[in-house]
Chain A
Amino acid sequence: MTDPILKIDAVSKRFTRKPGLAERMVGRFTGGGKPITVHALTDVSLDVAKGEVLGIVGESGCGKSTLGRVIAGIHAPSSGSVALNGRPVADERHGTVHKLTTQVQMIHQDPFASLNPRMKVGETLAEGPRYHGIIPADQVRARIRALLEQVGLEGAYADRLPHQFSGGQRQRIAIARALAMQPEVLVLDEAVASLDVSIQAQVLNLFMDLRHDLGLTALFISHDLSVVRHVCDRVAIMYLGRLVELAPADQLYADPRHPYTQALFASIPTVGTGRGRFEAIKGEIPSPIAPPPGCPFHPRCPFAGPRCRAEAPRLTGAGPARTVACHLNDGGVNMQRGAA
């Protein structure tokens, strides 16, 4: 692998909600009223190489969107660091997050919420570059037109308001807004999930073309395994705020190692298998407020042994360029020395 452009080092993110005065008073009698902490991310480390598209996959609530937001500098990590070319993406002072770079840009899931409804498309696109002096003032209009054409829209659309566009067109505008900042890294948070399938294909093709033309590095957050397979070079599987498997896309799809990854793949509905049943993963995803001890997946894992209940597995190598966090890959699920 070439030098990583983006280094995510042991990032944890906890959200704490302190109880209000009334809750504390009631809590004196009921035993409640204590701060609630959600463990959204636990000890996530990832390196992303320049030009790479890394997929981040998991069920809803697994922390993949939180990871995207931490990388995009919207949240600051509770511990650990996110660095782009060796410099931190954001820091936190007095409880307020300050983003330090314009080089990471984000594309949101819902294009109906991510564009300011009262701002013309041209203004939306020009605002960031103008403020940060990325485009010289006299070239802004021309650049905005070029950007709109680059994402497959007409330059004249700059004078329209977002509500005049369809979902797919809005998502193109959101992509153009991100590109206007000339970022090195794009974070796409379920960027096609809310679009119709045919529109999804258009937007994905656009993304692939742009990626090819501009040499973009991207994090592609999705729950859609078939989309991820088409788009990504490497895929990271997340479960309950932890990274459980990281592998090149072709290897992962050919030979998933982690029981959770296997279960995810087994649950993909496929065409042409007749009346076959889907292999649903048994049980519910545990609460991130009180994650289970040991391996977070052990309550739902068909291979779980005593060691899984006691000890959290670490990411260990499983062949070239791939890692898995599972005791099956690291000495077995039974207790090792001193456990008897």
Chain B
Amino acid sequence: MARIGNVLAVPSAAPVETRGMRLRNFWSDYRRSWLAIGALAVILVLLVASFGAPWLVPQDPYDLAQLDWLDAFLPPGTTGSGGYVHLLGTDNAGRDMLSAILYGLRTSFLIGISAGALALTLGISIGLTAAYFGGRIEALLMRVVDLQLSMPAILLALVMAAVLGQGVPQIILALVVAQYAYFARTTHGAASVERRKDYIEAARSTPLPTRRILFKHLLPNVLPPLIVVATVQVASAISLEATLSFLGVGLPLTEPSLGSLISNGFKYIHAGRSWLSIYPGVFLMITVVAINLVGDQVRTVIDPRNSR
């Protein structure tokens, strides 16, 4: 039982890195792209403007008492009967377009973010379960996901929306069904790799309960790629909702979303009243592009191949 000689001093660890420092590092990597900073700023402005809309805009487009037929089809910049300037004009019912767009944007954000969050939760549960348990459960769950990924999301969302009917909760459900498969696939891929690492085996041999291993050990290590997918999927949910509403299976015009506003204005586009469609369209485009730019930059920053 000879003791082995040559006891070197234990080297001291690297300087402490706290969670706050990781966040700061993330930010210092993120801000290297001006485009991404701009996109983030645009999203923040749009979020504040849309959720603060009741206090920012002159009219509540939901309140029919505030609408006046005499104000219908006013071009942008005209002063209406309410005594204020309609910056983006009015529609066929005399709605102030700026008010309608910001209220609509609020609905779009609400739908996009909640559909994204719900699809993320569902996708993570399915992906983690499949990767951790393997075998038949994995085969069954992932084949369903594969089957769904082979169909266009828009088709699935259309069918779901047609079956479920109009309304915000129905649209959210339709979008979740159309989108969870992307999250499930991404989670499954990342979790299958992590699952085979020794720290999972160490947790199993401690032993710790399966639930704890799944959520405390596996989940935090598969989250980074999911954040990127989630960002992009929120943008995709917003444009899917707009598409559904444009096609008439989404939200009714009494609950304006960007899609239903575009759809409504589309009828008058050849009658010289192009602002009815173009302005909501521009807002939709800016929103989706900005979210995608932010998602792209997040992907670049958290990719270990790009780390300094």
Contact = CB atoms under 8 A, between A and B. Distances in A.
Nearest to A129: B206
B202 A164 contact: no
A63 B290 CA distance: 55
Nearest to A108: B198
A128 B208 contact: yes
B206 A157 contact: no
Nearest to A116: B199
B13 interface: yes
Mostly helix, strand, loop or mixed at chain A's interface? mixed
Nearest to A151: B10
Nearest to A249: B1
B207 A73 contact: yes
Given A157-B13, A201-B5, A202-B7, A116 B205 contact: no
B221 A202 contact: no
A201 B207 contact: no
B198 A113 contact: yes
Interface in B134-191: 135
Nearest to A200: B4
B3 A205 contact: yes
Contact of B198 (A97, A114, A169, A233): A114
A38 interface: no
A113 B15 CA distance: 21
B16 A164 contact: yes
Given A108-B202, A113-B198, A164-B17, A204 B135 contact: no
A131 interface: yes
Mostly helix, strand, loop or mixed at chain B's interface? loop
A19 B105 CA distance: 52
A144 B205 CA distance: 20
Nearest to A71: B205
A264 to B, nearest CB: 21
B201 A108 contact: yes
B6 A113 contact: no
B205 A74 contact: yes
A230 B16 contact: no
Contact of A118 (B133, B204, B207, B221): B221
B220 interface: yes
B206 A181 contact: yes
Contacts of B209: 131
Contacts of A201: 4-7
B8 interface: yes
B212 interface: yes
Interface in A200-245: 201-202, 204-205, 208, 230-231, 233
A164 B21 CA distance: 13
Contacts of A26: none
B43 to A, nearest CB: 27
B221 A177 contact: no
Contact of B10 (A69, A114, A153): A153
Interface in B7-39: 7-8, 10-11, 13-17
Given A110-B198, A116-B217, A166-B11, A198 B6 contact: yes
Contact of B199 (A96, A99, A115): A115
Interface in A94-129: 95-99, 102, 104-106, 108-110, 113-119, 127-128
Interface in A125-183: 127-128, 131, 152-153, 157, 159-161, 164-166, 168-169, 174, 177, 181
A105 B206 contact: yes
Contacts of A76: none
A164 B15 CA distance: 8
Contacts of B205: 72-74, 99, 104-106
Contact of B13 (A97, A160, A230): A160
Contacts of B7: 201-202, 205
A117 B3 contact: no
B2 interface: yes
Contacts of B197: 113-114
Given A105-B205, A127-B208, A119 B216 contact: yes
Residue of B202, B209, B220 ringed by the most chain A CB atoms within 10 A: B202
A92 to B, nearest CB: 13
Contacts of A127: 203, 206, 208, 212, 216
A193 B10 CA distance: 19
A79 B16 CA distance: 49
Contacts of A108: 198, 201-202
Contacts of A164: 13-17
A297 B221 CA distance: 43
A165 B16 CA distance: 10
Contacts of B217: 116, 119
Nearest to A74: B205
A138 B13 CA distance: 28
B10 A106 contact: no
A74 B204 contact: yes
Contacts of B2: 230
Interchain residue pairs A-B with the least CB separation, the first 6:
A114-B198, A99-B207, A128-B206, A113-B198, A118-B220, A108-B198
25 contacts: A73-B207, A99-B205, A105-B206, A108-B198, A108-B201, A109-B198, A110-B198, A113-B198, A113-B199, A114-B201, A115-B202, A116-B220, A118-B221, A127-B203, A153-B10, A157-B13, A160-B17, A165-B14, A166-B13, A198-B6, A201-B7, A202-B7, A202-B10, A205-B4, A231-B1
Given A116-B203, A131-B208, A165-B13, 11 more contacts: A73-B205, A102-B207, A105-B206, A109-B198, A127-B208, A165-B14, A169-B13, A201-B5, A202-B8, A208-B3, A231-B1
